[in-house]
Amino acid sequence: MAQKVIPIPKPERPRHYIREWRKYRGLTQERLAERLDLTGGAISQLETGVTGYTQETLEGIAVALNCEPGDLLSRDPNIEGAVLDLLRLLRQKDQATVMAIINGLPDAGTGTND
């Protein structure tokens, strides 16, 4: 009786949103690579999971893409990007400016600035 061969599943590639953030920022792989002193091929391999990333690389990519390293790992910019960008801008402003912006927003219920 022949033994049944059970295939070994391939390990899942770590999920990240590096490609999505790059495209959200309107960069090609080559342009991002230039900012990081890498090659376009290295960015391609990183985005497809062929090669992994180091903490240093992740931090460099985050700086190049104007986001946080955690954003690259957990947030799809196509869904949350504009909100994250706004929050980052607000963190850079003083409290009075932030309150003026918030108070200037229209009321969600009426669509007016009452």
2 within a domain of the structure (yes/no)? no
Is 6 among the domain residues?
A: no
Q: Is residue 12 included in any domain, yes or no?
A: no
Q: Domain for residue 86, yes or no?
A: yes
Domain enclosing residue 53, as ranges: 18-103
Domain with 50 in it: what CATH number?
Answer: 1.10.260.40
pLDDT of 81-112, one tens digit each? 788 888 877 777 777 777 787 788 888 665 55
Q: What is the pTM of this model?
A: 0.67
Amino acid at 2: A
Neighbours of 18 (CB within 10 A): 21
Query: In this structure, what DSSP letter does residue 28 have?
Result: -
Measured at the CA of 74, the angle between CA 43 and CA 21, to 5 degrees, comes to 40
**Residue 112 in domain:** no
Helices and strands: H and E segment counts in the chain: 7, 0
Query: Structurally, how many domains does the chain consist of?
Result: 1
User: What is the crossing angle of helices 40-48 and 29-36, to 10°?
Assistant: 110
Summarised one tens digit per residue, pLDDT across range 59-84 is 999 999 999 999 999 989 988 878 88
Question: Is 99 among the domain residues?
Answer: yes
Phi, psi (5° rounding) for residue 4? -80, 130
